[in-house]
Amino acid sequence: MNILRRQVCSTLRRPIARQYVTARPFVPPSQLDQVDPFPPRRRGRGRRKNPDEEELDEEERNDEISGPKAKPESQSFYTGRAIYHDNLIQLQNAISRTRGTLKTLQLLPLPPFARESLIQMQTAWKTPDELAREFDTNMTTGRYRRVTALLNELHEYYRIAVTAKHPQLADMIDDILRLFTSGKKNQALAQGKRKKVQLDQYGRSYTVGKRKTSSARVWMIPVKTPLPSSSLSSTTLPVEDVLGLSETERLSIPVPTSTILINNLPIAEYFPQPADRERIVYPLKVAGVLGKYNIFTIARGGGTTGQSGAIAHGIAKGIFAHESDVGDVLRRAKLLRRDPRMVERKKTGLAKARKRYTWVKR
Amino acid sequence: MLRSCLTNSTRCRPSLSSFAQRRFASNDANRRLQDDNDWTEFQANRASFKSLVNGLSQYGSTQARGNTWKLRDSLHNPSRNATISALLASGAHFGHASTRMNPSFMPYAYGTRAGITIIDLDQTLPLLRRAASLVRAIAANDGQIVFIGTRPDLRPVVQKAAERLEEQGYHVGDRWLPGTLTNKWQMFGHDIVRKERVVPDLVVVLNPIANMNAIRECALEHVPTIGIVDSNVDPRVVMYPIPANDESTRTAEIIAGVLSIAGREGVMIRRAEERKRLEEEERRQGMEEREHFSKQQFELDKKADANAFDY
């Protein structure tokens, strides 16, 4: 064992001769002015070929530039990410110039009460992918944050210039900021906000409600109130007077009624259980619009509870589309929220989702 | 307002300008600026106070912005020559722990104090001047000089240094990508490597420990290097070491300032020589043209004489 190890160690310890070979022997010039700064490029047989240079054709070799080559233009050339660093430097220069200008205009440093009075402006910078294409580098989070930090600082100065009414300065800053603003600004700003439901040409709203695995498509249209009859045309009678009216007169006052159809069947037929019907009508009661809308729904998937819950969700959204004032009331009653509870899966080793098998001591 | 200033006088004496400004500002401290008039008034108040201060300042101290020392001067306004007192003030003589001292650094060490190697600034200064004259000579011969400083506090230093050399200066403020010189065909593409000078003529490294890749590549590509070597580094990693504290920003600003100003002088020398050469060329061309014309004229005169006949 010892002999083997010694042999292995000796082979490893033998120095691996690394040779730094030059193509031709180096002879230093005796005088510095004998050095030719632009020697002619020899492409002979003795020259070691760089594998990357094999692509040169005969024509290209003859066309090659001999003599003084140009210097790289960008000062950040040796970073490997010239465009990105040049843009950073230009933004920094713009910030320092703007800061000087604002100081001259007595707008910097801004006390807190003045800062609160600045006009609110929202920004939507280009996404990391868009900037990666522009700067020709992979935009990691760190690099993106460096760019956006500078852009936000410049945007602050833009807000100051706009609020204090200095249009030329504001325009100059905006010229720079526009290069980095996303083209899809409206989309970016509307992210996270729910799209407003539009009523169609007939005044109908179309909303979708979901619960468990059911989904319901709900159309709601306000009930057309019939014109009041000639006998009670001008005045609206108070309740006491209405109650005191005779039978015929009471019958002539129109009472608005609405219909709820689910899969083309009336609600009483589709949901025989009163609990389901209650669940569907609850949003209308909460908003106080019980007889105001005719509702047509198509419900699919799930069972009775799921479908009734989905229809209720859709009705709540539809009411919000017609009248946004009741939004607060519906939200507090948690009717606009899609109930996220779903059937929990069964797990291995358990009888059901949570039910365990009988515990046995041995 | 006044009483609080008096009670706090032992702790902090606010300067006249800030105290007076606070007096002016207290009137509109809680009022928000609603419309254009408010903003104009706000600006006008400040401007009037500023003009008052400027008017009164001619009767006060003679210290002005131009002749006051500012912290930012070492970066934006460095001096051409470094002095030992300036290097001492920036802490250039502080090396690393004596236990970590590299044995090859011994010639540049002055001694030990408080467990730290003290660097001999009497040797730093002539080495810095040698490096500066090297930078000047390379710049005067149209050489490309790269400044490498890969810490966030060194980034503006190398940027400013490269700006001073204009088209001959380059900087690397973030991580040096391995293979920039040894793998240039893949890094920059065939067109650029064939058409442009990718290998620089001089590299100045402000923090060599973090940039050993760059130093190694420069050695492989036969690029001379200047570097700030600290006591835990072998000075032979770079061709022209400058023994100093590599962790101090002020030291790096002083050294980079000296080198970049020398480089700028080299650039100016080259431009002056170019201009002189062009003028010589033009003068020579003009003389040649004049000679050529006079010769032509002489020939024509001769012909005219030959063809002339006596009346």
Domains and CATH numbers, chain B: 73-268 (3.40.50.10490)
In angstroms, the CA B216 to CA B203 distance is 12
**Nearest CB neighbour to A72, from listed B42, B50, B196:** B196
Taking CA atoms, A256 is separated from A292, A352, B19, in Å, by 7, 49, 74
pLDDT at B15: 46
Checking if the pLDDT of B199 tops 70, the result is yes
Residue at A215: amino acid letter: S
What average pLDDT does chain A have? Answer: 85
**Residue B9 is encoded by which pair of tokens?**
């006088």
Residue showing tokens 């004032």: A325
Would the pLDDT of B134 be above 60?
A: yes
Task: For residue A78, give the nearest of B30, B146, B163 by CB distance.
Answer: B146
Give residue-wise pLDDT tens across range A201-224: 999 999 999 999 999 999 999 998
Within 13 Å of residue A171, how many CA atoms lie on the same side as its CB? Answer: 3
Check: CB of residue B193 under 8 Å from CB of residue A65.
no
Say yes or no to pLDDT of B3 above 50.
no
- Compute the CA torsion angle B52, B58, B64, B67 (nearest 10 deg): 170
Helix (H, G, I), strand (E, B) or coil at A42: coil
Q: Please name the member of B29, B144, B176 whose beta carbon is closest to the beta carbon of A113.
A: B29
Average pLDDT over residues A67-74: 88
Q: What per-residue confidence (pLDDT) applies to A59?
A: 45
Return the CATH number of A198-224+256-342, one of 3.20.20.70, 2.40.50.100, 2.60.40.1120, 3.30.230.10.
3.30.230.10
| Tokens linked to B302 | 């001769």
Is the predicted pLDDT of residue A172 greater than 60, yes or no? yes
DSSP state of A80: S
Read off φ and ψ for residue A206, nearest 5 degrees.
-120, 115
CA distance A258 to B84: 96
Token pair listed for A357? 């098998």
Q: When comparing pLDDT for B263 and A46, which is higher?
A: B263
Handedness of CA A131, A136, A138, A143 (dihedral sign): negative
Q: How confident is the model at residue A256 (pLDDT cuts 50, 70, 90)?
A: confident
The percent of residues in chain A predicted with pLDDT above 70, rounded, is 75
Assembly ipTM: 0.83
Q: How far apart are the C-alpha atoms of B293 and B298, rounded to whole Å?
A: 9
Residue A54 above 70 pLDDT?
A: no
Counting residues of chain A whose pLDDT is more than 90, the rounded percentage is 61
- pLDDT band of residue A257 (cuts 50, 70, 90) is confident
Q: Can you tell me the distance from the alpha carbon of B299 to that of B289, in angstroms, rounded to the nearest whole number?
A: 15
Residues of A with Cβ-Cβ distance to B32 under 8 angstroms: 113, 116-117
pLDDT of residue B256: 98
Q: If you average pLDDT over residues A112-127, what whole number do you get?
A: 90
The pLDDT score that the predictor gives to residue B1 is: 44
Rounded mean pLDDT of B47-52? Answer: 93
C-alpha B159/C-alpha A17 separation (Å) is: 41
Q: Residue B191: what pLDDT?
A: 93
Contact A199, A322 (CB under 8 A): yes
Range of lowest pLDDT (A92-101, A161-170, B5-14, B122-131): B5-14
Question: Distance (Å, rounded) from C-alpha B270 to C-alpha B268?
Answer: 5
Say if CB A336 and CB A324 are below 8 A apart: no
Give A-chain residues touching B36 at CB under 8 angstroms.
165
Residue B12 CB coordination number (10 Å)? 8
Helix (H, G, I), strand (E, B) or coil at A300: strand
A39-43, A126-130, B100-104: segment of lowest average pLDDT: A39-43
φ, ψ of residue A99 to 5 degrees: the values are -60, -45
Q: How far is residue A46's CA from residue A61's CA, in Å, rounded to a whole number?
A: 17
pLDDT level of residue A66 (50, 70, 90 thresholds): low
- Rounded to a whole number of angstroms, the distance from the CA of A167 to the nearest CA of chain B is 13
**For all residues of chain B together, what is the average pLDDT?**
90
Q: What's the whole-number mean pLDDT along residues B293-306?
A: 92
**Residue B178 CB burial class (10 angstroms; 0-12, 13-18, ≥19):** middle
Q: Which of A71, A116, A117 sits opposite B196 (nearest CB)?
A: A71
Query: Where are the domain boundaries for CATH 3.30.230.10 in chain A?
Result: 198-224+256-342
- The string of pLDDT tens digits covering residues B278-292 is 999 999 999 999 999
Closest CA to B17 of B9, B6, B25, B29: B25
pLDDT greater than 90 at residue B107? yes
Angstrom distance (rounded) from CA A76 to CA A136: 14
Q: Judging by DSSP bridges, how do beta strands B116-119 and B169-172 pair with one another? A: unpaired
pLDDT of residue A235: 56
DSSP for B119-186 reads E-HHHHHHHHHHHHHHHHHHHHTT--EEEE--STTTHHHHHHHHHHTGGGEEEE-SPPPTTTTTTHHH
B135, B139, B141, B144: CA torsion to nearest 10: 100
Q: Do B181 and B221 meet the contact criterion of CB atoms below 8 Å apart? A: yes
CB contact under 8 A, A78 and B180: yes
> Nearest to residue B164, comparing CAs of B49, B32, B253?
B253
Average pLDDT over residues B71-78: 93
Q: Give percent above pLDDT 90 in chain B.
A: 77
Q: Both tokens of residue A130? A: 């868009």
Between residues A185 and A142, the one the model is more confident about: A142
pLDDT at B299: 93
Q: Which residue is closest to B29 within chain A, CA to CA?
A: A113
**pLDDT value of residue A27:** 67
Q: What is the pTM of this model?
A: 0.70
- Could you tell me if A105 lies within 8 Å of chain B, comparing CB atoms? yes
pLDDT for A128 equals 95
pLDDT score of B38: 85
Contacts of B138 (CB under 8 A, 6+ apart): B145, B201, B202, B224, B263, B266
Lowest mean pLDDT among A50-59, A348-357, B155-164, B182-191: A50-59
Tell me which residue in A70, A71, A80 faces B187 most closely, judged by beta carbons.
Answer: A80
Instruction: For residue A331, list its beta bridge partners.
Output: none
Enumerate the residues of chain B whose CB falls inside 8 A of the CB of residue A77: 170
Closest CA–CA distance from residue A118 to any residue of chain B (Å): 8
**Could you tell me if B256 and B244 are in contact, meaning their C-beta atoms sit under 8 angstroms apart?**
no
Region of poorest pLDDT, from A44-58, B29-43, B46-60 = A44-58
Q: What is the DSSP string of A165-216?
A: T-HHHHHHHHHHHHTTB-TTHHHHHTTTSPPPPPP-TTS-EEEEEEETTEEE
Identity of the residue numbered B20:
A
Q: Which two tokens stand for residue B12?
A: 């902090």
Chains A & B: contacts with CB separation below 8 Å: 82
B159 close to B173: Cβ distance less than 8 angstroms = yes
Q: What is the DSSP letter of B244?
A: S
Q: What's the confidence (pLDDT) of residue A220?
A: 97
Does B5 have pLDDT greater than 50? no
pLDDT of residue B275: 97
- Give the pLDDT band of residue B16 (cuts 50, 70, 90): very low
Closest CA to A125 of A176, A82, A84, A193: A176
How far is Cα of residue B242 from the mean position of the Cα atoms in its chain? 17
Are A64 and B194 inside 8 Å of each other by CB? Answer: yes
In whole angstroms, give the CA distance from residue B166 to residue B231.
33
d(Cα A278, Cα A315) in Å, to the nearest integer?
13
pLDDT, tens digit (0-9, with 9 covering 90-100), for A224-242: 876 655 555 445 666 666 6
The pLDDT confidence band at residue B48, using thresholds 50, 70 and 90, is very high
Write out chain A residues lying below 8 Å of B225, CB-based: none
Residues 6+ apart with CB under 8 A from B147: B157, B158, B161, B162, B169, B170, B171, B172, B204, B206, B256, B260
Amino acid (1-letter code) at residue B290:
R
Q: Smallest Cα–Cα separation from A310: which of A199, A194, A218?
A: A218
pLDDT mean over B127-135: 97
Tokens at A229, concatenated: 């009859």
Angstrom distance (rounded) from CA A327 to CA A316: 9
> What does the pLDDT average to over A146-169?
95
The pLDDT confidence band at residue A129, using thresholds 50, 70 and 90, is: very high
Q: Any chain B CB within 8 A of the CB of A106?
A: yes
Using beta carbons and an 8 Å cutoff, which residues of B are at the interface with A? 25, 28-34, 36, 38-39, 42-43, 46-47, 50, 144, 146, 159, 162-163, 167-174, 176-177, 180, 185-187, 190, 192, 194-198, 200
Rounded distance between C-alpha atoms, residue B170 and residue B175, angstroms: 14
Contacts for A259 with CB less than 8 Å, ≥ 6 apart: A266, A294, A295
Render pLDDT for A89-109 as a digit per residue (tens, 0 to 9).
Answer: 999 999 999 999 999 999 999
The pLDDT assigned to A246 comes to 66
Q: Measuring CA to CA, how many Å separate B203 from each of A1, A73, A246, B256?
A: 52, 17, 107, 12
Residue B195 and residue A70: Cβ atoms within 8 Å?
yes
More confident residue, A251 or A338: A338
Largest CA distance in chain A: 132
For A304-344, what is each residue's pLDDT tens digit?
999 999 999 999 999 999 999 999 999 999 999 999 999 99
For residue B204, give the nearest of B257, B245, B153, B269 by alpha carbon: B257
